Amino acid sequence: MIDLSLTQMAQGLASGDFSSTELTQAFLDRIQQHNSQLNAFISVTPEQALKEAAVADEIISQKQANPLTGIPLAHKDIFCTLGVKTSCGSKILDNFTAPYSATVVDKLAAAGMVSLGKTNLDEFAMGSSNESSFYGAVKNPWDTQAVPGGSSGGSAAALAARLTPAATGTDTGGSIRQPAAFCGITGIKPTYGRVSRWGIIAYASSLDQAGPMARSAEDCALLLKAMAGFDPRDSTSLQRCVPDYPSLLKEPLQGLKLGLPKEYFGDDLNPEMAERLQTAIQELEKLGAQIKEVSLPLTRLAIPAYYVIAPAEASSNLSRFDGVRYGYRCEDPKDLEDLYKRSRSEGFGAEVKRRILIGTYALSEGFYDAYYRKAQQLRRMITEDFQKAFNEVDLLLAPTTPTPAFDLGSKNNDPVQMYLEDIYTLGVNLAGLPAMSVPAGQVGRRPIGMQLIGNHFDEGRLLNVAHQFQQVTDHHLQAPRLD
């Protein structure tokens, strides 16, 4: 059961081959068996999951099921979930139980899905390796000496290890796509505003976007259809019809123009990865796609722009965690100032404190114009670069990351080297574009990802290209062997 696609699971549930209770228990058993090795989950909710599965079985027996009814999933622990600890991977929220659920959580529950628990992440989604979590690093199931990517590394690792068939993630600078690439699964970051951010604990509000993570484009299409849509509670949510993504998957690729940004295929890219991607490009050409080289000349400036804008927004968003209203509070504060200082210094980890300090500095008097305003100007120019490229081609194809997954601990003492891991993903978030990562093979037995980037609201075409590619390749079907 655990190796079936979501569509196959739905068919098995409908035909009575197995029940949602049996399916859910199979994944709960697997979590119990392997999570101690991988540290992919922060919280597991077996009693709640089995209750939800029993309800789903009743709905299925009455022939009133949706396509996702009775199928388990896991939520990244940045989505508020009613009655369940929502920690953001931080000590400062270790004692916080959400009094409501995020819109995404409610939508997937309404679709009949069964929540297994909450997955591990870099603290407040700040990281590229899932090593900054208060609950410890997540291990990559393909090689437990390697990182799973971040910040949605817990979701990606759980999917690859077959601890869950579906998961949610958030992508602020590549945090769905990069771990998807490192763990050999499929993940899509939708257009900014396509999926509600209400109930997601904010890192950088103008960049954060929720999206689905699964094993295939077909599975992601089912999940995105359920997740997307306008939410009046989210001021950044867009009033736009949600396409029937699964119905678009079978469109032929004949005549599709795919652009290869030359800046993404330079010296930064691992040579063996370049070879695997060339093979993937040839497969897409066989399917009818036309390949053209394009240029995104401001690619290298995405990193400095992002690492001014995102920390600035984080500095503002994380000011609410002060030890007064909720979350961690220091012991025996001398006065209010001591309460603030010690609660925050003791509750936040090193990477979060680093970004708060950078953001506060960038927003301070005398430096706002020199840093923050200039970064926003660069953001506009990067967006214009993408639009010029889309005047020439339909979609862009690129590596998701410059290298396969790196070793645990290898970049902890050099934050700049860690930040450079996001060089191929950050521009998409700055421009608010949709993009996804698709498994494209392995280098040294570690998975690599092919990134597809679309113009605004082109999620359907991204999923279509990814699905057609996955019909002629089997990278997405590969699974790691666990002890």
How far is the CA of 4 from the CAs of 9, 166, 187, 437, 441, in angstroms?
6, 11, 17, 20, 20
Instruction: Say how far apart CA 100 and CA 145 lie, in whole Å.
Output: 37
Cα Rg for the chain, rounded, in angstroms?
21
Instruction: Say how far apart CA 138 and CA 267 lie, in whole Å.
Output: 29
CB burial readout 471-483, b (16+ within 10 A) else e: eebebbeebbebe
Q: Is residue 295 reached through a cis peptide bond, with omega within 30 degrees of 0 on the bond before it?
A: no
User: Which positions are annotated as active-site residues?
Assistant: 76, 151, 175
Which long-range contacts link 233-236 to residues 24+ away (Cβ below 8 Å)? Answer: 233/103, 233/196, 233/198, 234/103, 234/196, 234/197, 234/198, 236/192, 236/193, 236/197, 236/205, 236/206
Question: What is the token pair recorded at 318?
Answer: 């994380």
Instruction: Say how far apart CA 280 and CA 468 lie, in whole Å.
Output: 12
Whether the CA torsion 21, 26, 32, 36 is positive or negative: it is negative
